[in-house]
Amino acid sequence: MLFPDIRQLGGCDAVILANGEPPRHEVPLRLLREAPFVCCCDGAICQCERADAVVGDGDSLPGWARTRCSSILHQVTEQDDNDLTKATRYCLSRGFRRIVYLGATGLREDHTLGNISLIVRYRQEMGVEPVLATNHGWFVAAKGDADFASFPHQQVSIFNFGCSHIGSTGLRWDSYAYRSWWQGTLNEAATDRFSLQADGDYLVFRTYEAK
């Protein structure tokens, strides 16, 4: 399987905009602008010029938004899942599986870690093809052997979610089954593609710019 450069993604089914750091880089801004369907997590509607749905428990939704967005508001009061997961379930109910997540990092660090790790769950349990884009780069969830479009000196980080083996070609430093997340950070692509050979799930982060 080839994971393309996000700039050659070829579109998505929906964008879910979370209520974290707003998109500022040209790549996430373009993804938001060109999305065929935009689903906001609660208060994220305050930083979004257009939305097709607003989903969440309503705790960060201002009064004016409840009134203005009443026709597209889908309030889910259960607290077993966070708003990002509630929005994901809503998008799945609409038949959307290729989902780009924006605004899911920044601000509170605990929310950032939780949201990033969730895209592994979405791939494993829900069949989502997730991409989580920030203002610096993007995460994809992968399993097993995979190829990744890249470019020389692109910064690459790999986060292990249960693999007992991770090998690589095309990276500056050989990969292995990292026991701690920090061990897989700050690698670097050598050419226009790198490959990972693994026996489980993992996350890959690639930067928009070369170092």
pTM of the predicted model over 0.85:
yes
Long-range contacts of 85-90 (CB under 8 A, 24+ apart): 85/118, 85/122, 86/41, 86/55, 86/56, 86/57, 87/16, 87/18, 87/39, 87/40, 87/41, 87/53, 87/55, 87/56, 88/16, 88/122, 88/126, 88/128, 89/126, 90/39, 90/53, 90/55
129-171 pLDDT tens trace: 999 999 999 999 999 999 999 999 999 999 999 999 999 999 9
Q: What is the mean pLDDT of the chain?
A: 95
| Fold assignment, 2-138 | Rossmann fold (3.40.50)
Domain boundary assignment for the chain: 2-138, 144-210
Amino acid 176: pLDDT: 98
